[in-house]
Amino acid sequence: MGYRLSKIYTRTGDDGTTGLGNGERVPKTDPRVGAYGAIDELSSVLGWVRSHSLPTEIDLLLMNVQHALFDIGAEIATPGLPPLLAPEATRALEAAIDRHNATLPPLAEFILPGGGPSASALHIARTVCRRAERETCTAGEAVTAENRRYLNRLSDLLFVLARVLLREEGGREELWHHKRQKKPPEGTAGTGPG
């Protein structure tokens, strides 16, 4: 394979357009561009997650996810490209979710993101994944149903892995406690600052 990126800047995007994989130029605000841009951002966040000290199995799992995300991005960026992501990739995520979730205590309530460096990083990745999924829905037929399924499972996997790594880091899960806002005492409404 030759050099794909022999020139880093081309100036062709200075007019607010970008080139798709088939040579077509579209506005940078095109939903297709938003979708593959969000996928790229997600892969970058996962690269940051992998810069943390992770168990080897989880690091390899996330590396494979990054490769799959590159495939998804290429599919979205190139109209007419045959599917690159096989349904087996989604099934592999489901198997990983089941395997890791089996080691965790059941949850009776939502948990607050955080707890440790790796767990927190995975929660950020999870929310970026959810946004990428929304962007792919906005892009409509430019994104296959299989790619959307993959992203949906991926956000679930990232949630489960955040819980696994929180335990590895010795942290504890902070449960969300829904509390109703108490009404101010009679006669005090409107007396505070502002």
**What are the φ/ψ torsions at residue 138 (nearest 5 degrees)?**
-65, -35
**Higher pLDDT, residue 8 or 117:** 117
95 contacts 156 by C-beta, under 8 angstroms: no
Does residue 20 belong to any structural domain of this protein?
A: no
CA dist., res. 102 & res. 143, Å (int): 32
Does residue 49 belong to any structural domain of this protein?
A: yes
* CATH assignment at residue 142: 1.20.1200.10
Does residue 85 belong to any structural domain of this protein?
A: yes
Cβ-Cβ contacts under 8 Å for 143 (sequence gap 6 or more): 35, 75, 76, 136, 137
Q: What is the four-CA torsion angle of 75, 138, 37, 100, rounded to 10 degrees?
A: -80
State the pLDDT at residue 120: 94
Containing structural domain, residue 101: 28-168
CB atoms within 10 A of CB 176: 9
Does residue 94 belong to any structural domain of this protein?
A: yes
Does residue 191 belong to any structural domain of this protein?
A: no
CA dist., res. 97 & res. 3, Å (int): 37
Residues 144-160: what's their mean pLDDT?
Answer: 96
State the pLDDT at residue 193: 42
Tokens of 178: 């829904």
State the pLDDT at residue 61: 98
Alpha helix stretches (DSSP H) within the chain: 31-50, 56-77, 87-101, 117-138, 145-168
Residue indicated by tokens 């991005």: 73
Does residue 109 belong to any structural domain of this protein?
A: yes
Residues 146-174: what's their mean pLDDT?
Answer: 92
Residues 5-30: what's their mean pLDDT?
Answer: 62
Q: What total number of domains does the chain contain?
A: 1
Tokens of 100: 């890791």
Reported as a pLDDT band with limits 50, 70 and 90, residue 174 is confident
139 contacts 35 by C-beta, under 8 angstroms: yes
Lowest-pLDDT choice from 22-31, 48-57, 184-193: 184-193
Does residue 153 belong to any structural domain of this protein?
A: yes
What are the tens digits of pLDDT across the range 100-147?
999 998 887 888 888 889 999 999 999 999 999 999 998 888 888 999
CA dist., res. 157 & res. 57, Å (int): 14
Does residue 87 belong to any structural domain of this protein?
A: yes
